[in-house]
Amino acid sequence: MYQCSSCGKKYRKMQGKCDICEEWNCIDEFNDSVTKPGSKVLEKDTKPASLSSIEVEDNIRYTSNISEIDRVLGGGFILGSSIVIGGEPGIGKSTLALQLGRLAKDNFKFMYFSGEESQKQVKLRAKRIGTNSDHMILSEDSTLEVIIRQIRHEKPSFVVIDSIHTIKSIEASSSIAGSVNQVTNCSNQLAELSRELNFTIILVGHITKEGIIAGPKVLEHLVDTILYFEKVDTGNLRILRTSKNRFGATDEIGIFNMTDKGLEEITDPTSLFISGKEEASIGSVISSTHEGTRPMLVEIQSLVSKPTISFGKRYSTGIENNRLNLLVAILEKYCDIKLSDKDIFISLTKGIKVKDTSNDLATAVAIYSSFKDLPISNANVFIGELGLSGEVKKIDNIEKRIKEVGRLGFKTCIVPKNSKNDIKGSTNGLDIKEIEHIREIKNLF
């Protein structure tokens, strides 16, 4: 049997293109074995229990002492949980996993299985980033049955598999490591083992050219948490995002800087995403976005110019193009400016990507400023979502955002109407102005 690694469709013979998802070169051999009558099947003999009678230990969640990771996970790791970390080659997945080896101590054994490097290579990298412990065990075995046997013998509290696409089960099938059958079988057995023995396991995974975890879709259902490591610019900045988390929110991000000593966490990222210019500038506006529980200031830059061809084009880095097209249409209708024959470029400092619609007002002001060649003070911060009728809508967590703006020393914050009522306590002398409709932005210059 053969199976598509993208959608899971099964075929009796090999073919180049999947009929369902229309992906090419994604069909691999799959061992579709069926349990025969009379064969022994190992089943768990568990008894149903009422919810109130189930006891949960108080220390089931523990921290990693890396606050950015703990933030993304919702407060730390969970005993018995399984986590997949994906990202481009060389982005820092293995470095991050190896840094977690600092957790190793008495009564907390850490096992690291490397299918891509030898023990000596891992040792050299661990030495470089300052991870060294007698309670950290390295292994270069990539056979599932051997790995399971070693885990049962050592009884670790934390296990890293680097990577799941290099692990092969001899008993599962004759297919190569990384195939649909191997990834599914190995991931399933390791996740089951982590729940049985109550240890945390991280499976380092490869990603496809589309930026998703390589392998069968079922892998995402087998594990508890899926993390993605991203590079946000051409430098050393890294962002850790979560797309699935059974034990926490999925809108948190962790920010790191890659150095010779490994990954350094950045707990106050605002200084990275604003230029710090004090003078007024054209097309450059500060906004306050919200990632999970953390408010963060970003700088939105706009350039409106004559088109290089017969019609204008839109190009955005950091904001979705569909959102940009919507904001351009709102500006044209309610601010009496013609943008359809202009090239419009939007960029966020450091190339960070945001989905928070509270950046609408700042983006619109940046476009208007560039179109009119009117400078706007960098001491101002704009927060608000735009509706299709041009109204500036109230947003969530306005008090947190404004207090962060005041803490950083900005002078003025422009917010949606009636937002002042939601603000309690000191704002460090911040002048808060309200705006009701997008047509009022001409009064801000």
Q: Which of 175-189, 262-276, 430-444 has the lowest mean pLDDT?
A: 262-276
- pLDDT at site 35: 39
Taking all residues of the chain, what is their mean pLDDT, rounded to a whole number? 88
Q: Is the per-residue pLDDT at 157 higher than 60? A: yes
Q: Determine the Cα angle at 98 with ends 93 and 104, to 5°.
A: 145
pLDDT tens digits along 46-67: 688 898 888 877 668 999 989 9
> Residue range 405-412: average pLDDT?
88
Q: Give the Cα separation of 211 and 86 in Å (integer).
A: 9
pTM of the model: 0.76
Instruction: Decide the pairing of beta strands 200-205 and 82-87.
Output: parallel
Percent of the chain scored above 90 by pLDDT? Answer: 56
Q: What residues contact 41, with CB distance under 8 A and at least 6 apart? A: 35
- pLDDT at site 84: 96
> Residue range 26-49: average pLDDT?
58
**237 vs 40, residue with greater confidence:** 237
For the chain, the structural domain boundaries read 1-30, 60-265, 272-444
Fold (topology level) of 60-265 = Rossmann fold (3.40.50)
Whose structure tokens read 């983006």?
363
Q: Is the per-residue pLDDT at 238 higher than 70? A: yes
> Residue range 185-190: average pLDDT?
94
Query: Per-residue confidence at 173, pLDDT binned at 50, 70, 90?
Result: low
Query: Per-residue confidence at 408, pLDDT binned at 50, 70, 90?
Result: confident
Encoded tokens for 51: 């919810």
Q: Which of 89-103, 163-177, 199-213, 237-251 has the lowest mean pLDDT?
A: 163-177
Query: Per-residue confidence at 274, pLDDT binned at 50, 70, 90?
Result: confident
- pLDDT at site 234: 60
pLDDT tens digits along 10-25: 888 888 888 887 888 8
Query: Per-residue confidence at 278, pLDDT binned at 50, 70, 90?
Result: low
Q: Is the per-residue pLDDT at 282 higher than 60? A: yes
> Residue range 190-215: average pLDDT?
89
CA within 13 Å, CB half, 178? 14
Q: Determine the Cα angle at 59 with ends 58 and 62, to 5°.
A: 140
Positive or negative, the Cα torsion across 171, 175, 178, 179? negative
Q: What is the dihedral of CA 428, 429, 430, 435, to 10 degrees?
A: 130
Q: Is the per-residue pLDDT at 155 higher than 50? A: yes
pLDDT tens digits along 80-137: 999 999 998 889 999 999 999 999 988 899 999 999 999 999 999 999 998 888 889 9
Whose structure tokens read 């990632």?
291
Contact, 246 vs 224, CB < 8 A? Answer: yes
pLDDT tens digits along 299-320: 999 999 998 887 889 999 999 9
pLDDT tens digits along 320-351: 999 999 999 999 999 999 999 999 999 998 88
Q: Which of 78-92, 224-238, 251-265, 324-338 has the lowest mean pLDDT?
A: 224-238
Q: Is the per-residue pLDDT at 209 higher than 90? A: no
Fold (topology level) of 272-444 = Ribosomal Protein S5; domain 2 (3.30.230)
